[in-house]
Structure 1
């Protein structure tokens, strides 16, 4: 892909890195086949190739992000399926990271977006708070159809069952069955232990059955997933 960054822009190491990444893209479109948002929505701007065009224009022009930029870049799940498919090894992840950093610096989101983004970091990494929030969402599920936009969609996604804390919520060492062959650390996850703790329980059963001692360490934080 041809780029038109000025020498002054190229003095910025982030722009120089973005230039190297952009010039690797050959417009082949292989990435579109594995991009979940493009497969679902069918919009070129919701594909990795389309987002690369948006990011290229954003960085080259030095303009402030518009609602169009924000909409399509926000929809990227950062699953990186496109990077495993790309024959040119385009480092798409860093382009999206740079674009998102620019958006957060220069774009003023609507009030409701800012409110939700401010609340989530105060709730999701804390299982007890997360359970209380889910309980409130569960109680409000009947109102999902009359709530505006994203808030209504979030209420509609509230689980029908709120799981109680399990034994795996506390730090401990779980012995292997029979002879110990390995020692494994298990990150239980701030969201998973609330949304689907059965996954952690099944993981522990599988590991211990195959001779692994499982360590659930103290002080686990949010992994950011």
Structure 2
């Protein structure tokens, strides 16, 4: 694979243990059935070329973003970092915040949403169910409405759990599906619209320095619907 063209992937931070990048929207996090170039493979090849590394490159995938979602992602460059980051995620000490644009306006300007989700692996669809469902997994997030424009709302989200499609399903469940979400908001979105969900902040204890570090990524404010709020203080670096 050496020598193939690697797409430009912005690097937010890099040291001997960590690589934090901006995942391009619509790029798979890891290899899937589409056979499209995925972020993990591209970054491994990038490291191999930049540092002239022989053989295979280690890069640990410790969390994921849905294919249509862009924004900050952290990868581990050592097995020690991968282990410690994974433990941070399991213990819910790993902070993840997002920006999203949703249809309509929730009843509360800020709130905590708690749902119980089940994933159908055959259809790759997630559904909110009763907590007594034998396969239900608790999903928790907090949100704050930052601004409004027509029938759209800009939302800041703090994720407490990392369930599959969690943000998309929870907002659809309360009647405010994400702009552009074809899977959980097909009745209000048009085919071809880009989902407005962005990984905006990652916060965790550095695996070797033992100090808390925080990294930010801002959505592309030249594209709709992000450009509606390009002057909003929250969408500035």
Is the TM value for this pair above 0.5?
Answer: no
TM-score (normalizing by structure 1):
0.24
Higher strand proportion: 2
Larger radius of gyration: 1
Higher helix proportion: 1
TM-score (normalizing by structure 2):
0.23
Higher relative contact order (CA 8 A, sep 6+): 2
